[in-house]
Amino acid sequence: MTSALLETENVHLYYGEKEALKGINIDFKPNTINALIGPSGCGKSTYLRCLNRMNDLISGVKITGTFNFKGTDIYAPDVNLVTLRTEIGMVFQQPNPFPFSVYDNVAYGLRLNQHPSKTELDEKIEKALKKAAVWDEVKDDLNKNAMAFSGGQQQRICIARLLAVSPDIILLDEPTSALDPISSGEIEATLMQLKSTYTIIIVTHNLQQASRISDTTSFMLNGELIETGQTSKLFVTPDKQETSDYLNGKFG
Ligand SMILES: Nc1ncnc2c1ncn2[C@@H]1O[C@H](COP(=O)(O)OP(=O)(O)OP(=O)(O)O)[C@@H](O)[C@H]1O
| pLDDT per residue as tens digits for the range 118-129 | 999 999 999 999
Q: Which residues contact 204 (CB under 8 A, 6 or more apart)?
A: 35, 36, 37, 174, 176, 177, 210
φ and ψ of 137, to 5 deg: -80, -20
Using 50 as the pLDDT threshold, list the residues of the chain that sit under it.
Answer: none
Q: How many residues does the chain have?
A: 252
Strand 33-37 versus strand 61-69 pairing type: unpaired
* Closest residue CA from atom 6 of ligand 1: 15
Question: Is any ligand 1 atom within 6 A of the Cβ of residue 45?
Answer: yes
Ramachandran angles phi, psi of 13, nearest 5° = -135, 135
Residue 244 has a pLDDT of: 97
**Cα–ligand 1 centroid distance for 18 (angstroms):** 10
- What pLDDT score was predicted for residue 227? 98
Q: Is 46 in the pocket of ligand 1 (CB under 6 A)?
A: yes
Task: Give 3-state DSSP helix, strand, coil % of the chain, rounded to 5.
Answer: 35, 25, 35
- Is the CB–ligand 1 distance for residue 161 below 6 Å? no
* Ligand 1 atom nearest to CA at 16: 4
Helix ranges (H only) for the chain are: 44-50, 81-87, 102-113, 118-131, 135-138, 151-163, 181-194, 207-213, 231-236, 241-247
Give the pLDDT of residue 112.
85
Nearest CA to ligand 1 atom 24: 40
For the segment 16-61, what is each residue's pLDDT rounded down to a tens digit? 999 999 999 999 999 999 999 999 999 999 999 999 999 998 999 9
Eight-state DSSP code of residue 41: T
* 8 Å CB contact between 102 and 142: yes
Q: State the CATH class of domain 6-247.
A: alpha beta
Nearest atom (ligand 1) to Cα of 42: 21
ipTM metric? 0.97
Could you give the angle at the alpha carbon of 163 between the alpha carbons of 204 and 85, nearest 5°? 75
6-15 and 199-203 as β-strands: parallel, antiparallel, unpaired? unpaired
| 124 close to ligand 1 (CB < 6 Angstrom) | no
> Does ligand 1 have an atom closer than 6 angstroms to the CB of 160?
no
Distance of CA 175 from the midpoint of ligand 1 (Å): 17
Supply the residue whose CA is at minimum distance from atom 2 of ligand 1. 15
**Distance from C-alpha of 142 to C-alpha of 153, rounded to nearest angstrom:** 13
pTM score of the predicted model: 0.95
CB atoms inside a 10 Å sphere around CB 204: 22
End-to-end CA distance of the chain: 35
pLDDT value at residue 1: 61
- What integer pLDDT is reported at residue 128 of this predicted model? 96
Q: Residue whose CA is closest, atom 30 of ligand 1?
A: 41
